[in-house]
Chains A and B, each alone.
Chain A
């Protein structure tokens, strides 16, 4: 049973560019959440997708957007990249129902130069 997968593993971009990160949830999961983890800090919640809609959003600007596909996979898009967007981006999936645990992928490390 595959866990949460993310691609690519590493990415280098320059300021002003746009980036797309991808996530496939754990089998049987239908909810995907995205987090940003800056160096030396805990992950910060970006947003959560369920039934192809953004269900919840953290304190991130509109430059951060996402999408969920019918197969529950998800993309995170970041426009107009800033140096401060350099971080590890984590995807987590969970199933329906109460008290659901989030399972995390290995992350995509983004470096903005």
Chain B
């Protein structure tokens, strides 16, 4: 069985400051991990994915995430927040075949001017 924990339901940062969204996972096998972003009234957009290659994954819009097996974590970071980053972020775990997609509960990111 797989599960995802997103440690913060809401994160608030000032524009231009770093962003850290935390994700821990549980999986019976080597997982694939994803971060998706959902802007209000929009569908889910893939930010980045980890699939057993490099542990530091770079995504779109300046986001990156690091897979740490020993900590079962896949935290999402960005050096400098922009107002347009305000959205809901979901961490997702799946098996290596892209099945058993399990979403975390989401973290709402607010960016203050």
Please tell me if the beta carbons of A42 and B97 are within 8 angstroms of each other in the complex: no
Measured CB to CB, the closest approach of chain B to A60, in angstroms, equals: 14
B82 touches A (CB below 8 Å): no
Q: Are A42 and B98 in contact (CB under 8 A)?
A: no
* Inter-chain contact B104/A42, CB cutoff 8 Å: yes
**B96 adjacent to chain A (CB < 8 Å):** yes
B-side contacts of A98, CB under 8 Å: 96-98
Task: Kindly specify which of A13-21, A68-76, A77-85, A100-108 makes contact with the partner chain.
Answer: A100-108
Closest residue of chain B to A91, judged by CB? B43
Flag whether A44 is at the interface (Cβ < 8 A): yes
Are B34 and A101 in touch, CB under 8 angstroms?
yes
A99-B51, A99-B97 known; A104 and B103 CB under 8 Å?
Answer: no
Q: How far is the CB of A97 from chain B (nearest CB, A)?
A: 8
Give the chain A neighbours of B43 by CB distance below 8 A. Answer: 4, 90, 104-107
- Among A44, A56, A99, A105, point to the contact of B103 (Cβ < 8 A): A44
| 1/0 contact string of B92-113 vs chain A (CB within 8 Å) | 0000111111111110000000
Q: In the complex, what distance in Å separates the CA atom of A107 from the CA atom of B43? A: 6
Complex: A56 Cα to B101 Cα, angstroms: 11
Q: When chains A and B are docked, how far (Å) is the Cα of A33 from the Cα of B99? A: 10
Interface residues, chain A, with chain B CB atoms under 8 Å away: 4, 33, 35, 41-45, 48, 55-56, 90, 92, 94, 98-107
10 more contacts with CB within 8 A, not counting A92-B101, A98-B97, are A33-B101, A35-B103, A43-B44, A45-B100, A45-B101, A56-B99, A90-B43, A100-B97, A103-B46, A105-B43
What are 14 of the A-B contact pairs (CB < 8 Å)? A33-B101, A42-B90, A43-B103, A45-B101, A92-B101, A98-B96, A98-B97, A98-B98, A99-B32, A99-B51, A99-B98, A102-B98, A104-B36, A104-B43
For the complex of A and B, the 10 pairs showing the least CB-CB separation, nearest first, are: A42-B103, A100-B98, A104-B44, A106-B43, A99-B51, A104-B43, A43-B103, A42-B105, A42-B106, A98-B97
